[in-house]
Amino acid sequence: MRNILILLVGLCPLCFGAAGAALADRATIVLVLEPQKSSGRNWDIGRGADPIICLKAGCYVSRGLGKKAKYYSGRRVFFPGIRAKACRNSLGCVYRNVALPDGEAYVQPVDLDGIEHDFLERRPIRLDESCISVNSRIRCAKGVFAADYSMWVIPEEMAEAAGRKALDFALYKGLHDSKRAYIHYFLRDQRAKLPRTVRRFYRLLTGERLPWRCVRQTELITEAFFVSEIERSDDRKAALLYRKLLDTRSIAEFAQFTEYQPAMFWRLHNAINLLTKYVSAKSVETMDTAEGIELIERNQKPVLRVGWATKSRARAVIDSCIQSRTF
């Protein structure tokens, strides 16, 4: 009977939302939104948001720290009259007893609005087995962090055993500390890796291995984000941001700066991740157009397609450094 039920759920997950949930991992999801949207606008004119969370087969509406979140299959949650219940006008929310499908699931927070809902970034999640509970405090090592929100995916058994006080701590203190630690780690880790990433990028475009004295130049590393067209060539504010990351002695000092300017951190975060994706390419193709750079997949291998003028700019940057000891 169990095998038959699994087969039916696989054929039609929307038809068997409740049954599928019985076979899945259970999680308590702690969600904290940023004080402002990444666009700079307020949530619902400063009153807070009305957040729910959606997975592939349906959505969950919180009913508070001590009750199971209410599940709506498909898109029923967006029908008129349905509200965010315990999370109305709030920037933080806890969703109890959320069913996660086997393997990797995707979650998307949504800010419910009367007319036009705000769909936030969709991210992959897994049950976080690193979570621990000590003295009514839960801490998890593998948070989900995006420009508009932070999230922990806590095993439901742990959340139940830890109690409401521990969930309250996670919501108002633990997740905030976890995000701060992530920002420090990302900045420290990527500042150390950027020279190798940039060296790989220029080698892909020119076929030449750069001397380390060039790769360690702040100007050359910064220029990679313009050559790659991740940043506009006329955006000097971006140049100052990369220089600040590379030249600031203390990562803690730079991280503190991004806490007050979160849009700056996410700009760096997304740009560095995109450049890292580019250098994952196994080969390079020259495009017919002058400008442009894109990562595609061919024969299950990543291929970087680059405009001929983009390659020429990369060559000019390299030549400038090799010919002069002061790039």
Number of domains in the chain: 2
> What is the per-residue pLDDT across 170-180, written as a single tens digit (0 to 9) for each?
999 999 999 99
Q: Are residues 43 and 124 in the same domain?
A: yes
Residue 325: per-residue pLDDT: 57
Domain assignment present for residue 170? The answer is no
Q: Are residues 314 and 210 in the same domain?
A: yes
Residue 291: per-residue pLDDT: 86
Residue 200: per-residue pLDDT: 95
pLDDT greater than 90 at residue 186: yes
Average pLDDT of span 238-257: 88
β-pairing, 283-286 with 301-306?
parallel
Q: Are residues 151 and 255 in the same domain?
A: no
Which domain, by its residues, includes 42? 10-162
> What is the per-residue pLDDT across 50-74, written as a single tens digit (0 to 9) for each?
999 999 999 999 999 999 999 999 9
What proportion of the chain, given as a percentage, has pLDDT over 70? 90
Q: Are residues 155 and 209 in the same domain?
A: no
Domain assignment present for residue 176? The answer is no
Average pLDDT of span 106-116: 87
**Of the residues 107, 129, 162, which one is the last residue of a structural domain?**
162
**Structure tokens, 175:** 């997740």
**Of the residues 129, 162, 195, which one is the last residue of a structural domain?**
162
For the chain, the average pLDDT equals 87
Residue 83: per-residue pLDDT: 81
217 contact partners, CB below 8 Å, separation of at least 6: 321, 327
The CATH code of the domain that includes 49 is: 2.60.40
* Cα(262)–Cα(239) distance, integer angstroms: 17
Residue 17: per-residue pLDDT: 43
Residue 24: per-residue pLDDT: 64
Q: Are residues 187 and 318 in the same domain?
A: yes
Helix (H) or strand (E) holding 192, with range, is helix 175-206
113-131 b/e with 16+ CB inside 10 Å = b? eeeeebebeeeebebbeeb
Q: Are residues 70 and 155 in the same domain?
A: yes
What is the chain's percent helix, strand, coil content, to nearest 5?
45, 25, 30
Q: How confident is the model at residue 46 (pLDDT cuts 50, 70, 90)?
A: low
Q: Are residues 110 and 142 in the same domain?
A: yes
Residue 10: per-residue pLDDT: 43
Are residues 148 and 37 in contact, defined by beta-carbon separation less than 8 angstroms?
Answer: yes
* Cα(182)–Cα(140) distance, integer angstroms: 12
Residue 133: per-residue pLDDT: 94
Kindly report which listed range (44-48, 107-111, 246-250) carries the lowest average pLDDT score: 44-48
pLDDT greater than 60 at residue 280: yes
Average pLDDT of span 245-250: 88
* pTM > 0.75: yes
DSSP 44: G
Q: Are residues 121 and 201 in the same domain?
A: no
Domain assignment present for residue 28? The answer is yes
Domain assignment present for residue 252? The answer is yes
Q: How confident is the model at residue 45 (pLDDT cuts 50, 70, 90)?
A: low
- Pairwise pLDDT comparison (120 vs 209), residue with the higher score: 120
Q: Are residues 81 and 189 in the same domain?
A: no
Domain assignment present for residue 175? The answer is no
Q: Are residues 143 and 243 in the same domain?
A: no
Kindly report which listed range (114-123, 154-163, 225-234) carries the lowest average pLDDT score: 114-123
**Of the residues 111, 134, 162, which one is the last residue of a structural domain?**
162
- Pairwise pLDDT comparison (39 vs 162), residue with the higher score: 162
Q: Are residues 95 and 226 in the same domain?
A: no
Residue 107: per-residue pLDDT: 96
Q: Are residues 200 and 240 in the same domain?
A: yes
Are residues 216 and 247 in contact, defined by beta-carbon separation less than 8 angstroms?
Answer: no
Q: How confident is the model at residue 139 (pLDDT cuts 50, 70, 90)?
A: very high
Domain assignment present for residue 168? The answer is no
> What is the per-residue pLDDT across 123-133, written as a single tens digit (0 to 9) for each?
999 999 999 99
298 closest CA partner among 275, 280, 282 = 282
**Positive/negative CA dihedral, 281, 287, 292, 297:** negative
| DSSP structure string for 121-169 | --EEE---TT-EEETTEEE-S--EE-SSEEEEEEEHHHHHHH-HHHHHH
